Every structure is written in structure tokens, then in C-alpha cells.
Amino acid sequence: MTMLHWERAGHQLIALIGGTTALIGDPSGKASERIALPEGKVRDNADVIAENITRIFQNHQKYIWEQK
């Protein structure tokens, strides 16, 4: 949502989607650590996140931005 506000204010946005934590696990200090994911699964997850962000911006431009 914040990115949509920045875009409306005229800023050029770049969304960075990473997967490093998923590759190495999550050393959060909890009793059990998050299990590291295989590189292919991390890449698939990042692709889905990128598609979702793209869809959100497209829908915003189509249904909300053009109405203003």
C-alpha cells in the first residue's frame, strides 16, 4: 500500500524481492529455526510475489488511479 502512495506522488518505484533468508534459514534465536528452502522453491516463491505485486499495481492503475 505504501508503494502505491509513493507512486501516486510521482516517484519511480523499484520493488526488490529477495530470498536470501529462505536459502540460509532464519537464525532468529527461537527454539527451532526455520528450515532453509531449496533454491528452486525460493525462486518460485519470489516469482509469485513479483506477479502479485505487478497485479496489484495494474489493478490500482486500472480501477483507482484512472478514476481520479
pLDDT of amino acid 28: 67
Q: What is the pLDDT along the chain (68 residues), one digit of tens a residue?
A: 888 888 888 899 888 887 777 777 766 666 677 777 888 998 999 999 999 999 998 998 888 876 65
Residue 26, beta-bridge partner list = 34
Q: Kindly list the domain boundaries of the chain, sorted by start residue.
A: 2-67
Helix (H) or strand (E) holding 9: none
pLDDT of amino acid 46: 92
**DSSP states of 16-47:** ----HHHHH-B---SSSPBPPPPHHHHHHHHH
pLDDT of amino acid 36: 79
Count of other CB atoms within 10 angstroms of residue 45: 14
Beta carbons of 23 and 37 less than 8 angstroms apart: yes
